[in-house]
Amino acid sequence: MSKTLKIGIIGSGGIAGAHAKAYKQMLGVEVAAVADIIPGRAGQFIEHWELPHAKAYDDYRQLLDTELDGVSICTPNVAHFQTTVDALNAGKHVMLEKPMSVTLEEAVTMAETALKTGYMLNIGFQPRYDPNMAIIRDLISSGELGKVYYVETGGGRRRGMPGGTFIRKDIAGAGAMADIGCYSLDMAMNALGYPKPLTVSAFTSNHFGTNPLYHKEADKFDVEDFGVAMIRFEGDIVLNFKISWAMHMDSLGAALFLGTNAGLKVTPSGSGPWSGVFDGSVGSITMFHDVQGHHTESPIPVIQHQTDLFHAKVWDFAEAVRDGRPAPIPGSQIVRNQAVIDGIIRSAQTKKEVDIFLPSPFA
């Protein structure tokens, strides 16, 4: 009989529950430890989620001293860096919630630590597990569009601003760009084979979050609720990226991939003020091409599926640990996603186009 996989959870707030629920449903996996910086919170979490084998800790370093195969890191963004580096150095595989980090420097050190220690650093982008995202990636990487030279991604919620830890720069690091923007970037960059970003020219604002008319925590809101950026990639590809948590508009449009042979239009699914971004699933996929000289629009059938994307990402991580596979969504790749977000923040601050510097082996 194979041994039971022991998992720890660091940070037992909102999203940690989804991790606990997924691990609980896996055979041969047990949540053996939970840590939260707020005294008593880990214990309450263990009780709430009925984790009979789990021990509670107030200090995650004590959790890392115990025998565990892997940890889910579910702290606010600002704590991703230290907890991840410490976990990898303690010999634990890491399933890290998005976004990877607050700064590019942190992301680089985290990915370097994974490479140095040989432990896995896996980033939790659950939209990757939507089979339609795989169709988009496969269509683009197959070369069917020809040379892809222009991409639009992102999207906009009419009204979908979170609160709490998400709106404070000292805890979240950034706002909509990091929160939902990292998914849209991943969708496009993954389809393109994660090309190296070279420069960014960006604008961000927070007219809604800081207005008490629109946000009840307006006095605490100091991150961006809107952003737009033009990103140049190696291979002469340009990306027009836009994101909004709130706006007076129904949509910021579809994702577009323009290639020399064909174009692809992808719309997000869902409706209502919190929809309109690629943080969940795909609404439609249409190929624009010429067939025998005629402008043709070919709908690509969207797979209606029952996959629980969140469970899929947690299970894939645990199975990769058990089977000795590499990280399904490796930190070494997502460094480039974080580099774009870092570039957006720098460019928006300086109001100038900025260069992106990536050290080897991520360059």
Contact residues for ligand NAD (CB under 6 A)? Answer: 10-16, 35-38, 41, 60, 74-77, 79, 83, 97-98, 124, 126, 164-165
Query: Residue 145: what are its φ and ψ, rounded to 5°?
Result: -85, -5
Minimum CB distance to ligand NAD smaller for 16 or for 229: 16
Is the distance from CB of 71 to CB of 32 less than 8 angstroms? no
127 by DSSP, 3-state: which? helix
Shortest Cβ 170–ligand NAD spacing (Å): 12
Return all residues near 249 (Cβ < 8 A) that are at least 6 apart. 156, 158
Distance of CA 23 to the CA centre of its chain: 20
- The tokens describing 91, both together, are 């010999």
Shortest Cβ 42–ligand NAD spacing (Å): 8
Instruction: Tell me the C-alpha distance between 322 and 28, whole Å.
Output: 9
Quickly count helices (H) and strands (E) in the chain: 11, 15
Q: Which residue has the tokens 């990898």?
A: 88
Q: Which residue is nearest to ligand NAD (CB)?
A: 13
What secondary structure, in 3-state letters, does 96-108 show? EECCCCCCHHHHH
User: Computed over its alpha carbons, how large is the radius of gyration of the chain?
Assistant: 20
Q: Which residue from 192, 176, 175, 287 is spatially nearest to 242, judged by alpha carbons?
A: 176
Minimum CB distance to ligand NAD smaller for 12 or for 281: 12
Minimum CB distance to ligand NAD smaller for 127 or for 195: 127
Instruction: Tell me the C-alpha distance between 300 and 266, whole Å.
Output: 10
Shortest Cβ 63–ligand NAD spacing (Å): 9
Q: Which residue has the tokens 């996996």?
A: 29
Q: Which residue has the tokens 């919630």?
A: 97
Return all residues near 149 (Cβ < 8 A) that are at least 6 apart. 236, 237, 238, 258, 259, 260
Shortest Cβ 313–ligand NAD spacing (Å): 8
Chain length of the chain: 363
Minimum CB distance to ligand NAD smaller for 37 or for 358: 37
Minimum CB distance to ligand NAD smaller for 4 or for 44: 44
Shortest Cβ 353–ligand NAD spacing (Å): 28
- The tokens describing 1, both together, are 């009989």
Query: Residue 126: what are its φ and ψ, rounded to 5°?
Result: -65, -25
Minimum CB distance to ligand NAD smaller for 220 or for 352: 220
Instruction: Tell me the C-alpha distance between 156 and 250, whole Å.
Output: 8
Is the distance from CB of 302 to CB of 130 less than 8 angstroms? no
Minimum CB distance to ligand NAD smaller for 11 or for 156: 11
Shortest Cβ 351–ligand NAD spacing (Å): 27
Minimum CB distance to ligand NAD smaller for 40 or for 299: 40
Minimum CB distance to ligand NAD smaller for 38 or for 249: 38
Shortest Cβ 151–ligand NAD spacing (Å): 23
Shortest Cβ 186–ligand NAD spacing (Å): 11
Minimum CB distance to ligand NAD smaller for 183 or for 257: 183
Shortest Cβ 124–ligand NAD spacing (Å): 5
Shortest Cβ 126–ligand NAD spacing (Å): 6
